[in-house]
Chain A
Amino acid sequence: MKNVLLVGAPNSGKSALFNRLTGLQHKVANYPGITIDVGSGALRSDPRAQVWDFPGTYSLNAISGEEELAIDALRSALADERPAVVAMVLDATRLEKGLTYCLQVAREAARSKKPFLVLLNMMDILEHNKLVLDLDGLRASLGVPVLPVSARTGDGVEAAEVALVSASATQSPWADTPDALIEGSAQQIADRFVPQGELLVRRQAKIDNWLLGTASGGVAFVVIMTLFFQAIFTWSAPLMDGVEAFILGLGAWLVPLVPEGIFADFFEDAVFGGLGAFLVFVPQIFVLTLIIGALEDSGYLARAALICHRPLSYFGLSGKSFVPLLSGVACAIPAIYAARTMSSRQERLMTYVAIPLMPCSARLPVYALLITVLIPDTTAFGGLVGWQGLVMSGIYFFGIVSALIVAAVASRLGESESRKQAFILELPAYRTPNVWPIIHASVNRAGHFIQKAGSIIFTVTVVVWFLGYFPNGGEDLSASWLATLGIWIQPIFEPLGLDWRYGVAILASFLAREVFVGTLGTIFGIENADDDPAPLAERITESGLTAASGAALVVFFTIALQCVSTVALLARESKSTGFAMRLLLSYLVLAWIAAFAVHGLVSLF
């Protein structure tokens, strides 16, 4: 068993190479610092070797929590007795930025008697632009093996695999080099060998002139973000209709096959009513992840971070909060991980405060359901915009604005008036997004949701069904155990105009927001025992949910932190359970007050 440690600067193509070497599909992204955990996989050509994809760092001197983790992980991997080879991935087109780190790691590797070699990546770009790099000269100066590769085309990867497997520790010229000399040598090597490729920078600058120009940049940003939110709804609509039709069809076909009685009831209410109501939203989650992935890989997100830096700093955040916040539109979990790249603890904590308010995709099913119930499916402005889509955008906007306001307030309240943190962000080259890894990541995310449906949501649905069905065999929901429980918590939700059925669904949704839809689906399924399977929205409409209560529900869901996984991860990442608990409580109280206010307001009309 041999370990291959892939290290290098952010965006040098480590994950892309990792995918080539292992045949796995790790997420690649054109945004500095996107690898968050050390991924691993067996080398394709020799499964006895295990490849490790380390998070990118620019040097062994860490400036952020993420870098510290990465460097600690690397140091302990080097200290490990087992055989390992260190492979430094360098971006041939931006050689200078990785050289200091390269020599630092070469020295550490030499000290721990581990073989060290350089994988010179992105050779395809050099070739494409007819730029030359003196490989032999570079080898001689570095005193270590240098293998030209391209993770994009696969050129040179086989030779690299052979070199990785057969590498053995040799005398390294860097074993005893002091820091100052490392910097000097990095500089000399860069001066001698960096391909003179003004060309590359210039092409990128041309696009940046547009996307970062004072006026054009702002317009582009607004257009891209608008398209982003529109796409989430319009692109996924046909897919969602398809899934819904499929589930209803399946239900109509399967349920009659099950003998009448408790089993048929269970199937219809819990499985098709509860679980089915949730599964309808999986396509939307897929599309959302897909678009964020494509934006990231194109190189635009780093620009968006730059554009947002100033505006966000008024809210106690920074441009580096942008990617975590945008990821929060998909799910708070990856968003919290993405905040690891932030070097300032203060700004990171503020980002944590804002993330739970970002309209995550788990809220989507809830919003979509309530909108279908409350807002007529009509268009405005001569058919240009649908009211439902407009209201959905409004809800998203409300979530984002409240995230910013809360962050601003929290950062003003924060005790430490800590110094503003430096903003250093590498702008990656623009690239055509690499389609397959992005699709793969999106399928994974959708799959993750389905898994969640299979575990948490299914369990909750079954429990809710059980409590609602007994003790009277589904004859009378209002006399069930569930109703007893619901009536007990009724006082909390009554001021919002919500009866106990919603109270129970909200209570269950503190495990995960999507549970709300499944739970309601089950409850209404039991209530309408003899009906044909019908979409949940129809049943809610029939039950007569008022506009004021619907609005209160929406507001409650935009603010409340109803997600066990988020709370747990916040506690872990902030290294403070108190912080996570305070957030949970504050958002609960705030959500209730805001919902109460909105209920009162809407009732006036």
Chain B
Amino acid sequence: MSLWSLSVGASASVSSVASDSGNVAAQRLIDIGFRKGQTVSCLLQPGFGAPRVFALGNATYSLDKETADLVILTDDRPS
């Protein structure tokens, strides 16, 4: 499942970041720490399809659907 489908308050660990054909967004995600084994959680899902807010370590990022879908998570893990 992808990061976008993580529900609010849940966390999971990153399994991979789909870096197909040198996608710059994927590279950026990796550079800021979305790497295999890292725990990410979803903090907020503002309405109307707005970008969602995710926490990685102590930093928070807002990602839109296309970008969050690049991050593949391992199976759900209760937080």
Which residues of A are in contact with B by a Cβ distance under 8 Å? 58-59, 61, 63, 93-97, 99-101, 183, 186-187, 190, 194-195, 197, 200-201, 204-205, 208-209, 212-215, 217, 302, 306-307, 309-310, 319, 343, 420, 422-427
6 other A-B residue contacts (CB within 8 Å) besides A97-B59, A100-B32, A309-B50: A59-B27, A186-B33, A213-B46, A422-B28, A426-B61, A427-B60
Distance, CA A207 to CA B58, complexed state (A): 16
Tell me which residues across on chain A come within 8 A of B61, comparing CB atoms.
Answer: 424-427
Least Cβ–Cβ distance between A102 and chain B, in angstroms: 11
Known: A190-B33, A424-B25. A96 touches B57 (CB 8 A): yes
Distance, CA A279 to CA B79, complexed state (A): 60
Q: Are B57 and A194 in contact (CB under 8 A)?
A: yes
Tell me which residues across on chain A come within 8 A of B28, comparing CB atoms.
Answer: 58-59, 61, 63, 422, 424
Q: Are A307 and B50 in contact (CB under 8 A)?
A: yes
Known: A424-B28, A426-B61. A214 touches B47 (CB 8 A): yes
Determine whether B18 belongs to the interface, using a CB cutoff of 8 Å to chain A: no
Known: A59-B31, A190-B33. A427 touches B58 (CB 8 A): no
Q: Are B51 and A96 in contact (CB under 8 A)?
A: no
Q: Main SS of chain B's interface residues?
A: mixed
Distance, CA A55 to CA B29, complexed state (A): 19
Which chain B residues in 36-50 approach chain A with CB under 8 Å?
A: 37-38, 43-44, 46-50
Distance, CA A195 to CA B25, complexed state (A): 27
Distance, CA A190 to CA B47, complexed state (A): 33
Tell me which residues across on chain A come within 8 A of B57, comparing CB atoms.
Answer: 94-97, 190, 194
A-B contact count (CB 8 A): 125
Q: Are A306 and B43 in contact (CB under 8 A)?
A: no
Distance, CA A99 to CA B56, complexed state (A): 14
Distance, CA A187 to CA B30, complexed state (A): 10
Q: Top 8 A-B pairs ranked by shortest CB distance? A: A214-B47, A422-B25, A59-B31, A423-B64, A96-B57, A94-B59, A422-B67, A63-B24
Q: Are A424 and B60 in contact (CB under 8 A)?
A: no
Known: A63-B27, A422-B25, A423-B51. A306 touches B60 (CB 8 A): no
Q: Are B58 and A201 in contact (CB under 8 A)?
A: yes
Which chain B residues in 51-77 approach chain A with CB under 8 Å?
A: 51, 53, 55-64, 66-67
Tell me which residues across on chain B come within 8 A of A205, comparing CB atoms.
Answer: 43-44, 53, 55, 60
Q: Are A58 and B51 in contact (CB under 8 A)?
A: no
Distance, CA A62 to CA B41, complexed state (A): 26
What would be 11 A-B contacts, judged by CB atoms less than 8 Å apart? Answer: A61-B28, A63-B28, A97-B33, A99-B33, A100-B31, A101-B31, A194-B57, A200-B58, A217-B46, A424-B25, A425-B61
